[in-house]
Amino acid sequence: MIGIVTLTIFLHSFLSVELLRIQGTWDTGQQFFHFITKFGFQKTLLQNQLETQGYVFGNISSDGHGSKTYTFALLDRGYFLGYYGNSSLIDRNKACQTMFYKIDSIAYDSTCNDEGKEDFLRKVPCPVSEVCVDEDQPNNVIPGSQLTFAVQDLIQPRFWYLSLVACTRNSTTCQWEAVKDNATINYDLWLVNGNPRTSSHPTFDYHFSVEMQGIAEIYLVCFACYGFLAPLQLYAIWRQKHAIPKLFTASILFVTTGLFFNMVQAIEFAGDGTGIDGLQILGDILDILSQALFMLVLLLLAKGWAITKTEVTNKFVLFSVWTIYGIVHILLYFWDRIEVAVIENINPYQTLPGWLILVLRVAIMIWFLLCLRQTMIQEKNRRKLDFFLHFGASSLVWFIYLPIVALISFQVSPLFRQKLLIGITYSANFLANAALVQLLWPTRSEQYFLLSHEKFYDEELEEFNEAPHVLNSATSQDSIATQYDRNPINLIPAISHNGTSNSTQELIKI
């Protein structure tokens, strides 16, 4: 399962939609329609319009010297779905006319629709070292760019979709036609929430798509919490030598390291809008491995290992189920990043791996409860039973929270769903880890933890036996025993009148 981590170096290009800077190439001979990205722009405040609206700016150029133009479109979801759905028509001329049929009624064009209210389209590629021909107000173009879109939404945040298509509008007939030409279009675009001409925008909002705003703060807070918890568990593992605390410590170190990587990626992205390729993927994989190890610890304890039993029963079944769960969890992660179309606002738990992981988690939870019940039936020690009660209650909350949150997320807008899932997942995992740290703390676990201090006490006993005063005491006892051997009658205690030995009286002296 750890080998999956090596895939991250091949998946650095599959970055999430929080990206600020988008660079790429479109070969018009290979693709009729080229989707660039989806980005969530925040709600525009009327009293501070210029500073709170979204912006798309950058350059779109061509390597060739052809005179053909193509269309760059920035559309909200209401217009994009029909536009995108008709791009698959085989007849390219009909596809162009159908794709832009609804858009034509509202999109501004200086020749064919000068009454249009929306600025959706640009003719590309733009002239070399000049602004695009559709930029009728060059002063509004961000310096160093060939095109600029200002995105305003006074009602709510919204997703917008960027794409290129091999269609052009005939300036004479105002009809859309397919462009049959081979060209290489290069684009370098920036997407931001806030005015790029000023520096007064919030650090953790400006570069992020709206559904990712606030994620950096979540990582910072969670890393601070684990930064407090991890040293405590490292101290506990120094006092405990059993495999259970070691596995649990590895789980905490994995999630702490993963949070560190995600936090660094978020801070770096907030600073330059690009971040570090692959760092977030590595952090997320470490978090998944941490959850898998934590589940293994719960199952081992539920089976009574180190508390009621010294051997694990049904090892093959246990590790098989655990491995399957870990693989499916990693599969869900990459499925969500690669296979699920960015165009669709699909909850990851609506996919096949998502449903599978929820079913597996519920099934493992039921198995966990059955194992815990069987262990408690076999256990007679009151302190250990109290431990199992507290352990079972806290573990049950951890098992059940994900299916509940997944069901709730179906009703949450995609604009806020990601933050909900990340925030609740990290919070629930931290509380579960903190509860187990408290339950397995050395001063508590010595009451019910088999072998938790055995090695520790053996080392202390060995050191004690080798101490000088112990050696001297042993030598004195040997000499006394030798003297008793010479005078064995000294070992006979006084006998009382009733014929019984009186241990409180002095030895008879001769």
Contact 332, 348 (CB under 8 A): yes
Task: For residue 307, name the pLDDT band (cuts at 50, 70, 90).
Answer: confident
pLDDT top residue among 340 and 315: 315
Task: For residue 249, name the pLDDT band (cuts at 50, 70, 90).
Answer: very high
Residue 115: pLDDT over 90: no
Task: For residue 466, name the pLDDT band (cuts at 50, 70, 90).
Answer: low
Residue 468: pLDDT over 70: no
For the chain, give the mean pLDDT: 82
CA 132 to chain CA centroid, Å, is 40
In tens, the pLDDT along 198-226 reads 877 677 778 788 888 888 999 999 999 99
In tens, the pLDDT along 498-508 reads 444 443 333 33
Q: What was the pLDDT predicted at 341?
A: 67
Residue 34: pLDDT over 80: yes
Tell me the C-alpha distance between 329 and 352, whole Å: 12
In tens, the pLDDT along 1-23 reads 333 333 333 333 333 334 478 99
All domains in the chain, ordered by first residue: 21-206 (no CATH), 210-451 (1.20.1070)
Q: What was the pLDDT predicted at 110?
A: 86
Q: What was the pLDDT predicted at 128?
A: 86
SS3 content of the chain, % helix, strand, coil (to 5): 55, 15, 30
Tell me the H-state helices in 278-350: 279-302, 315-334
- Phi/psi region, residue 209 (left: phi>0; alpha: psi -120 to 50; beta: rest), is beta
Strongest mean pLDDT among 86-90, 207-211, 347-351, 466-470:
86-90
In tens, the pLDDT along 64-92 reads 756 789 999 999 999 999 999 999 999 99
Residue 465: pLDDT over 80: no
Contact 85, 96 (CB under 8 A): no
Stretch 429-443: mean pLDDT:
92
Q: What was the pLDDT predicted at 204?
A: 73
Residue 481: pLDDT over 70: no
Which residue type, as a one-letter code, is found at position 370? Answer: L
- Phi/psi region, residue 109 (left: phi>0; alpha: psi -120 to 50; beta: rest), is beta
Strongest mean pLDDT among 59-63, 226-230, 311-315, 318-322:
226-230
Which residue type, as a one-letter code, is found at position 443? Answer: T
Task: For residue 258, name the pLDDT band (cuts at 50, 70, 90).
Answer: very high
Contact 274, 344 (CB under 8 A): no
pLDDT top residue among 444 and 293: 293
Nearest to 337 by CA among 290, 262, 293, 280: 280
